Chain A
Amino acid sequence: MNDRFNLSRFSFYRFASPAIFYPLAGKMIPWFIAAAVLFGLAGLYIGMLVAPTDFQQGEGYRIIFIHVPTSWMSMFIYLIMAFWAAIGLAFNTRLSGMMAQALAPTGALMAFLSLWTGALWGKPMWGTWWVWDARLTSELILLFLYIGYMALTAAIDDARRADKAGGILLLVGVVNIPIIYFSVKWWNTLHQGSSVNLTKSAMAEVMLWGMLLMALAFWMYSIAVALTRVRTLILERERHTDWVKAELEGVSK
């Protein structure tokens, strides 16, 4: 089965082989989980206990320690998926498509969390759960793009075709995201929507640290979850190969 990867002298291609990546990912996952927990605890400590109470917004503002990192992550993850899609389409590596597919649910979760925490934050701030603010609207559209990608890959039975079609959609999406973002922003300024600017009140340095730590925690969490999902995808797609059969027998013993 691995004769396809007779380029194995290049380590990049070697790790692109599912049979080699599977055990490697298995070893890495606990470390990423541990890092996620550590960064998360430190970030929450700074965010909840160390950071000062905001003189305008009271304690309610502390939701930004979830809201801002999840917004960042939702955008990063789409970019990373597009990166894997480009690699997959250019080099025809099997693992790339699996990576993109494994990341999608986490990206959608981040976009959803960002919207949800945004609504929770908006209620005390603006007195309403939802405003057509440029950032919230773009985040909502990003969630639509994630859902479209997942729906497309789920609807195509052949795994390789699903990877490739999903890849094209991701690349089209990544070209369109800046256009969508700027058009929404322009639309928003034209209609004078109420937008609360975070950077207006110079953000305290502790708050920035808290957000960075939380962002790192979400990074580590996303990597751990994506690797777990990739392992499942590998088992599912390579279930007819000898190494997967051996692996599964080893588990059942």
Chain B
Amino acid sequence: MLEADNLECVRGERRLFAGLGFRLEAGELLYLQGRNGAGKTSLLRMLIGLLPPENGEIRWRGELIDEAGEAFRADLCYLGHLNAIKEDLTPLENLLSAARLAGLTLCEDDAIDALEQVGLAGREDLACKYLSQGQKRRVALARLVVDRRPLWILDEPFVALDVAAVDWLAGIISGHLQRGGMAVMTTHQLVAIPAGTVRELRIG
């Protein structure tokens, strides 16, 4: 269970939001909405523990995330607006090395399967710098296919995807929720997620 209580965010000299709180149970999805610059990404960075809130607290399974530390990060999967893939590595190498650094066990066959699912079959061994923007994004999304950690925090996951890929990703997310996972995500386009309880939070 993820709880946020009375969060306040100050960036530079501007107070983006204050008194913000929510509670997320297993199988629930939280959509963060708000205009540009409202602090959606800042809130996500607070939730993953990279940005300390000005005020308020965030708890994971009842424990403050700072104190839970490694235990919290072991449960967390974050997909930022940057793809976090290395241009010089191949999609397969990227996927395997990301899993290893995150402390996950991932065998090569599963990784190839995941890449096939995101439509990169036959390109596993091509350095990522030769891929298009959309294909690079798919390499990043392939992480979600194999990720079984309970808390997903996704920053604009649907951006730069075509219609088919949006449907596919919605399916992946609802699969995650059906397994009892939780997800928090920002998005400009409201995509219907077939399974799980969907809640919305408007900032600013």
On whether A and B touch (CB less than 8 Å), the answer reads yes
Chain A residues whose C-beta falls within 8 Å of the C-beta of B12 in the assembled complex: 158
How far apart sit A4 and B15, CA to CA, in the bound complex (Å)?
A: 14
How far apart sit A184 and B12, CA to CA, in the bound complex (Å)?
A: 42
Interface string of B33-67 (1 = CB under 8 A from A): 00000000000000000000011000000000000
Question: Are the C-beta atoms of A4 and B13 separated by less than 8 Å?
Answer: no
CB distance from A61 to the nearest CB of B (A): 53
Tier of interface size on chain B = under 10
How far apart sit A3 and B15, CA to CA, in the bound complex (Å)?
A: 14
Chain B residues whose C-beta falls within 8 Å of the C-beta of A240 in the assembled complex: 13
Question: Are the C-beta atoms of A3 and B55 separated by less than 8 Å?
Answer: yes
Interface string of B8-28 (1 = CB under 8 A from A): 000011000000000000000
How far apart sit A158 and B54, CA to CA, in the bound complex (Å)?
A: 15
How far apart sit A158 and B12, CA to CA, in the bound complex (Å)?
A: 6
Chain B residues whose C-beta falls within 8 Å of the C-beta of A4 in the assembled complex: 54-55
How far apart sit A133 and B13, CA to CA, in the bound complex (Å)?
A: 48
CB distance from A157 to the nearest CB of B (A): 8
How far apart sit A97 and B114, CA to CA, in the bound complex (Å)?
A: 48
Chain B residues whose C-beta falls within 8 Å of the C-beta of A158 in the assembled complex: 12
How far apart sit A240 and B54, CA to CA, in the bound complex (Å)?
A: 17
CB within 8 Å of B: which of A228-253? 240
Tier of interface size on chain A = under 10
CB distance from A62 to the nearest CB of B (A): 51
CB within 8 Å of B: which of A75-125? none
How far apart sit A8 and B54, CA to CA, in the bound complex (Å)?
A: 17
Chain A residues whose C-beta falls within 8 Å of the C-beta of B13 in the assembled complex: 240
For residue A239, which residue of chain B has the nearest CB?
B13
How far apart sit A3 and B54, CA to CA, in the bound complex (Å)?
A: 11
Chain A residues whose C-beta falls within 8 Å of the C-beta of B54 in the assembled complex: 4
CB distance from B199 to the nearest CB of A (A): 28
CB within 8 Å of B: which of A158-174? 158
Chain B residues whose C-beta falls within 8 Å of the C-beta of A3 in the assembled complex: 55
How far apart sit A158 and B10, CA to CA, in the bound complex (Å)?
A: 12
For residue A1, which residue of chain B has the nearest CB?
B15
For residue A237, which residue of chain B has the nearest CB?
B13
CB distance from B16 to the nearest CB of A (A): 14
Chain A residues whose C-beta falls within 8 Å of the C-beta of B55 in the assembled complex: 3-4
For residue B52, which residue of chain A has the nearest CB?
A92
CB distance from B53 to the nearest CB of A (A): 11
How far apart sit A178 and B13, CA to CA, in the bound complex (Å)?
A: 39
How far apart sit A4 and B13, CA to CA, in the bound complex (Å)?
A: 15
How far apart sit A4 and B54, CA to CA, in the bound complex (Å)?
A: 8
CB within 8 Å of B: which of A139-166? 158
CB distance from B58 to the nearest CB of A (A): 17
CB within 8 Å of A: which of B52-104? 54-55
How far apart sit A3 and B56, CA to CA, in the bound complex (Å)?
A: 12
How far apart sit A158 and B55, CA to CA, in the bound complex (Å)?
A: 19
How far apart sit A21 and B142, CA to CA, in the bound complex (Å)?
A: 54
How far apart sit A74 and B5, CA to CA, in the bound complex (Å)?
A: 46
How far apart sit A4 and B18, CA to CA, in the bound complex (Å)?
A: 13
CB within 8 Å of B: which of A198-248? 240
How far apart sit A3 and B55, CA to CA, in the bound complex (Å)?
A: 9
How far apart sit A3 and B19, CA to CA, in the bound complex (Å)?
A: 13
How far apart sit A3 and B8, CA to CA, in the bound complex (Å)?
A: 12
CB distance from B51 to the nearest CB of A (A): 11
How far apart sit A240 and B15, CA to CA, in the bound complex (Å)?
A: 11
Interface string of A1-27 (1 = CB under 8 A from B): 001100000000000000000000000
Interchain residue pairs with CB less than 8 A apart (5): A3-B55, A4-B54, A4-B55, A158-B12, A240-B13
Minimum-distance CB pairs A-B, first 5: A240-B13, A158-B12, A4-B55, A3-B55, A4-B54
